[in-house]
Amino acid sequence: MAEKKNDYASVMGRKAEIMLKSVGIDYSKFESGSIAFDYEKMMRETGYSLTEMQEIQYSVNVGNTPILELKNLTALARKVAPKGKGARIFIKDEACNPSGSFKARRAANSVYHAKRLGFKGVLTATSGNYGAAVASQAAIHGLKCIVVQECYDSHGVGQPEIVEKARKCEALGAEVVQLSVGPELFYKFLLLLEETGYFNASLYTPFGIAGVETLGYEISMQFREKYGKDPDVVVCTNAGGGNLTGTKRGLIKAGAKCQVIGASVDLSGLHMASDNAFNKKSFTTGHTGFGMPFSSWPDRSDVPRSAARPLRYMDRYVTIPQGCVFYMTECLATLEGLEKGPAGNTALAAAFSLAQELPEDHMIVVQETEYTGAGKHIQPQLSFAKDNGIKIFFGDPSEEVPGENIILPNNPALIKTKEVDLDHMRRSLIKQALEVYNVKEPTDLDVRFLAEETNRDEAFVREVIKELV
């Protein structure tokens, strides 16, 4: 047998083969031969029932996290809101999970499935909390774990938050492979999957996304038990889309009718894969560099068809300036006595603004918190920003220019979200679908699929296709 070549082109050419072997899902079974694929069939046939997922997670101390009401932050929001406005603000305290974030739910399902299939180890590509979650679950199940992490720019300089997450992964027993920004991440990831024969514990498999359904379901059940109704609004930090997708699917399974709003830190203009921009970003996830591209084209992920498809599920999408998130992190600590990491505080800063649109008897919940540690604190993050030439001062955050400055609000009334034009993103998704699959005349099945993808009707899809073609 000829020895396999390990140059970039050869490894990327074996992508489909490597993925099939490492994930155990034949994605071709769900394809239509054109743009469409059967998303619900993929989720149904390769996932677990909600009850099974709860049993898996609860057996390893994942889930059943508390709902906390933030009475002091609510009071502050009402102080700057119009009379009669200022919804009650709550958080789902996901930092209580073993690895310190909601991603323990995704990892619990993936690692359980890997062990069930007989894999000796698990492998994931992430610079975020998911690596720690997979490492934690691998330790519980006695499996080996490798985390491939995009960590440094070309000068070998790593962001404090990413370096902190590497420490966490290693503390939980994982081997961490740290790489510089760029295409080598996915290449090295594929090569390691092939060399080790480990399970691909991707963020974007049905196992990973379905694991978050328990979070949405719990929110509904806990609110009904404690307050007699579902929350009116659920705010999700949006990056790759799995958080929002899984939460909304869980809320749907609970029969909840609440509005789901995605929130990302505004880092417009800083390309996520740019070496020059890499260390000008003070937020490693939950920002527009992930949230925008992954929403308008989910299948840019490390599996053939991503199970995270946020445009199907979000009712609104807002952005929030960096300075507002840092400010809200400090507010949470000093007003509520809770020290949490930046991911959940992104949604919390958005919720603080959104609560001011709603009547006082409404309830708005931020569906995640994350642990904090040395590199996740605002002090090292702001110091790192200064070292990279970012100016930091108090003022009006709406004037913030990502990559140039971080403006901390000199008054909490200046914490404001900016609305994202979802129809623009929907048009972008349809355009990408036509281009990626080289389709000139979409079938009726394609049109129905794109209507589901964009959460609009078929008339909208046909009109966009007409404009494009």
Domain ranges in the chain are 57-100+209-419, 422-468
Tokens in use for 341? 């990491």
| Chain centre to alpha carbon of residue 466 | 33
Question: 56, 99 in Cβ contact below 8 A?
Answer: no
Nearest to 266 by CA among 329, 346, 159: 346
DSSP 198-263: -EE--TTSHHHHHTTHHHHHHHHHHHHHHHSS--SEEEEE-SSSHHHHHHHHHHHHTT---EEEEE
Nearest to 292 by CA among 268, 324, 259: 268
268 burial type by CB count under 10 A (0-12 exposed, 13-18 middle, 19+ buried): middle
Secondary structure element (H or E) that encloses residue 392, with its range: strand 391-395
Main-chain phi, psi angles of 303, to 5 degrees:
-130, 155
Q: Which amino acid type is present at position 331? A: C
3-state SS assignment for residue 122? strand
Per-residue pLDDT of the chain (469 residues; tens, 9 = 90+): 567 898 899 988 888 889 889 988 889 999 999 999 999 999 988 778 999 999 999 999 999 999 999 999 999 999 999 999 999 999 999 999 999 999 999 999 999 999 999 999 999 998 789 999 999 999 999 999 999 998 888 889 988 999 999 999 999 999 999 998 877 888 899 999 999 999 999 989 999 999 999 999 999 999 999 999 999 999 999 999 999 999 999 999 999 999 999 999 999 988 877 888 889 988 888 999 999 999 999 998 888 899 999 999 999 999 999 999 999 999 999 999 999 999 999 999 999 999 999 999 999 999 999 999 888 999 999 999 999 999 999 999 999 999 999 999 999 999 999 999 999 999 999 999 999 999 999 999 999 999 999 999 999 999 999 999 8
Q: Tell me if the domain spanning 57-100+209-419 has CATH number 3.40.50.1100.
A: yes
Distance CA 88, CA 358 (A): 9
Q: What is the largest CA-CA distance in the chain?
A: 76
**Bridge partners, residue 200, by sequence:** 123
3-state SS assignment for residue 90? strand
